[in-house]
């Protein structure tokens, strides 16, 4: 493994590079970002060794870490240009439409559909952390469609980063992520909006905001430039998740209206089981 090229030098692309540089310092990293400041920051922070728009012909792996709605076109363009020994992998949060877009591409076997389950509410190269991916899950979709020899390159670096591999269908991936990731960001954004709207009338409302509010609304600090495209790419599954969530909110409200506090207690008690599931996942 000698050369890796990263397109999109934000939180995930930057953290991937910083982590890999620690365990494989012999790799030469090149990269590009459409934001000139991000590109300059990536050079300054040592995320990449050299800025260039196109990868060298002998690049081992090209990583696509741009917003979800840009990936299909970028992936097709990249596959059109690469040589026989280059693997292309992406870090996108949605997979179904992306895999469909390249299903018939003559170099489909040069592509590995990936998604690291890691992140923070911050974005850009300055948010990148060398330990962000450590021991996190890395989902691979349609594993069988990637050339076995090229796939070995990805396994080499993912193992070096201590990542846990999981294999899923693209449709299954997008449906599950709509519930456990995308919906949580939507609810955080809307909780933040609700309180901001209320603040217009009551200026001191944030004086009463404790740690519970801060942790619940943390994701509302996430980049709209990243999350609006995810809503676009995973619209069908996100709408299903939102409908179920809104239904549960309405039923909860109805119990309060009906003074059914015993019902509320039992509803919350049943939901407490989520802590057992989350503890098992650690």
Angle at 244 between CA 242 and CA 246, to 5 degrees: 65
Residues 217-259 have pLDDT tens digits of 899 999 999 999 999 999 999 999 999 999 999 999 999 999 9
Question: Cβ(73)–Cβ(17) under 8 Å?
Answer: no
Give 133 or 196, the one with higher predicted confidence: 133
Domain finish residue from 142, 168, 194: 168
Together in a domain, 12 and 104:
yes
Cα 216 to Cα 178, 209, 211, 219: the distances in Å are 18, 11, 8, 7
pLDDT at 152: 96
Domain finish residue from 168, 195, 219: 168
Together in a domain, 185 and 242:
yes
Together in a domain, 221 and 160:
no
Together in a domain, 155 and 33:
yes
Residues 186-205 have pLDDT tens digits of 999 999 999 888 876 666 76
pTM of the model: 0.90
Give 217 or 208, the one with higher predicted confidence: 217
Together in a domain, 164 and 253:
no
Domain finish residue from 168, 189, 210: 168
Together in a domain, 8 and 136:
yes
Together in a domain, 145 and 238:
no
CATH number (domain holding residue 10): 3.40.50.720
pLDDT at 214: 82
CATH number (domain holding residue 262): 1.10.3660.10
Count the domains in the chain: 2
Q: Is the pLDDT of residue 163 over 60?
A: yes
Together in a domain, 178 and 271:
yes
Spacing of C-alpha 13 from chain mean position:
11
Residues 35-56 have pLDDT tens digits of 999 999 999 999 999 999 999 9
Together in a domain, 118 and 183:
no
Together in a domain, 131 and 17:
yes
Together in a domain, 176 and 162:
no
Together in a domain, 85 and 132:
yes
Domain range for residue 59?
Answer: 3-168
């Amino acid at each position: 493994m000698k050369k890796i090229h990263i397109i999109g030098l934000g939180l995930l692309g930057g953290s991937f590079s910083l982590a890999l540089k620690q365990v494989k310092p012999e790799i030469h990293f090149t990269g590009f970002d459409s934001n000139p400041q991000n590109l300059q920051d990536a050079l300054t922070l040592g995320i990449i060794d050299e800025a260039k728009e196109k990868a060298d012909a002998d690049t081992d792996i090209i990583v696509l870490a741009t917003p979800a709605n840009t990936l299909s076109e970028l992936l097709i363009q990249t596959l059109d240009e690469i040589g026989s020994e280059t693997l292309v992998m992406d870090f996108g949060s949605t997979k179904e439409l992306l895999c469909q877009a390249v299903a018939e591409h003559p170099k489909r076997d040069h592509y590995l559909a990936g998604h690291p389950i890691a992140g923070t509410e911050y974005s850009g190269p300055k948010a990148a952390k060398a330990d962000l991916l450590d021991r996190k899950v890395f989902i691979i979709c349609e594993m069988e469609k990637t050339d076995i020899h090229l796939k070995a390159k990805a396994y080499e670096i993912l193992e070096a980063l201590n990542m846990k591999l999981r294999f899923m269908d693209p449709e299954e991936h997008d449906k599950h992520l709509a519930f456990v990731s995308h919906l949580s960001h939507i609810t955080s954004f809307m909780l933040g909006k609700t309180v901001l709207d209320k603040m217009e009338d009551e200026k001191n409302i944030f004086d009463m905001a404790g740690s519970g509010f801060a942790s619940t609304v943390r994701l509302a600090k996430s980049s709209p430039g990243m999350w609006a495209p995810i809503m676009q790419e995973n619209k069908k599954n996100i709408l299903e998740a939102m409908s179920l969530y809104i239904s549960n909110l309405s039923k909860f409200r109805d119990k309060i209206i009906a003074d059914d506090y015993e019902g509320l207690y039992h509803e919350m008690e049943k939901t407490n089981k989520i802590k057992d599931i989350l503890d098992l996942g650690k």
